[in-house]
Structure 1
């Protein structure tokens, strides 16, 4: 039978496209993100543009001071460490609980296999399966409130992942191997080993990105990408 499709509002469509431009580096902190520019670029009303900007401010992808236009948030060493530590607190405890039941989420295993298959497609290609791997672990806990807490970090987490991969800070084969080790520990019921492997996995990315951002302090670390037109999909 036909699969129902979710209805997307114009605000959501504009927000999704702006988010994509931030994550792929085509929209940086060099330019102000104004209601007028967004309304003009996407042929939408000013209130729609304002709502989209506010949603991305809420996701911490845009920042806006009093009486100032919004700009893309810049990642500094402290921000990177806070984002990764927040992830570690949530994900480590979830792995302990999954390991206690020897639960290996099928979606996490599929995502890790896809990550390896995409290794030859370039560093940025593995961001999506990497994100799905970690999200699948969180969702396997079956706790809606924890899942919502994690989703509140997702945009910042994805931004960090894009920066890590665009700067070639981690090898995809090593990422896959560490993911697989986590899954093996879950299957064996080794809760502390699973949590420790995750902590080390995240710490490597955290410190390499924090160091890279620190070296480039005051300059946007942009993802190399082809510019894309500012329009909504039909």
Structure 2
């Protein structure tokens, strides 16, 4: 078991324990997300064990977890296989995400009851900045983008809605991060987030929801195109 230390806002050290299976799970999920393992690839537990330098037990535990999430399947007497991306499911999750987020921004603009204004101020400190202060680190922007959308929902003050949204966010993360592999998409994200925030802060709910819907739809389209392109490149390189 590995101890990972995190610092809270109060500078209190918190120990989060990650098992070896957690580490294998995270690595295999990155392998799928970064197309080192492409849909259709077959492999065995022994091959993963040798590659990652761990025993088969954490590998098996990680694979069963990925199987439950729909990323791999076990083959009778012949190992495992990476499943094709289920774009229909991803689109359904994006639809649900859009309902949750547009509902949240309407609530942010229509009431003060339960609204966390500090979260909105914190978002402004990241997204409403001069061009010279924008980050070009795609991994960082991907993380901030996810936090932006989660914060919009959380700030609206409905805990159950925020919980469902976090679950949706986790399930689409593997393809959503691809939206930040190109600088024009990073620039567009800054511009679009800024417009959404300004509309929310001005209590223009309809405009904020319209901007947010367009932002999510564009991202969804771009992610699908990039995913298909990356899959094609990975298969071509392997062949």
> Per the shorter chain, which TM-score range?
0.7 to 0.9
1:220 paired with 2:217, answer: no
Shift of 1:149: 2.0
- Of structures 1 and 2, the larger Rg is shown by 2
- Please tell me whether residue 49 in structure 1 is matched to residue 56 in structure 2: no
Shift in CA distance, 117/64, structure 1 to aligned 2, threshold 3 Å:
same
Q: 1:64 maps to what in 2? A: 73
Q: Quick check: 102-111 or 41-50, which moved more?
A: 102-111
> Structure 1 residues 59, 136: CA separation in 2 closer, same or farther (over 3 Å shift)?
farther
Aligned counterparts of 2:48 and 2:17: Cα–Cα separation in 1: 22
Deviation above 6 Å: which 4+ runs of structure 1?
none
TM-score after normalising by structure 1: 0.74
What value does the CA root-mean-square deviation take over the aligned residues? Answer: 3.2
Residue 85 (structure 2) pairs with residue 75 (structure 1): yes
Q: Alpha-carbon deviation of 1:220?
A: 1.8
Aligned to 1:25: 35
Equivalences for residues 82-97 of structure 1 within 5 A: 82-97=92-107
- The 5 A counterparts of 1:147-226 are 147-166=162-181, 168=182, 171-210=185-224, 220-221=231-232
The answer to which structure has the higher strand fraction is 2
Higher RCO (C-alpha 8 Å, min separation 6): 1
Q: 1:18 to 1:211 in 2, by over 3 A?
A: closer
Q: Structure 2-normalised TM-score?
A: 0.73
Q: Where do 5+ consecutive residues of structure 2 fail to align?
A: 1-10, 235-239
2:5 corresponds to which residue? none
Change (3 A) 1:11 1:65: closer
In the TM superposition, what whole-angstrom CA distance separates every residue of 1:89-147 from its partner, at most 9, and x where no partner exists?
Answer: 2211111112223646244334436896223x4x5552222122112222223444333
Q: How many residues align?
A: 216
* 2:155 aligned with 1:140: yes
Per-residue CA deviation, residues 69-91 of structure 1 (Å, 9 max, x unaligned), is: 44444336534422321211221
Gaps of 5+ in 1: 224-234
Going from structure 1 to structure 2, the CA distance change for 1:95 and 1:73 (only over 3 Å counts) comes to farther
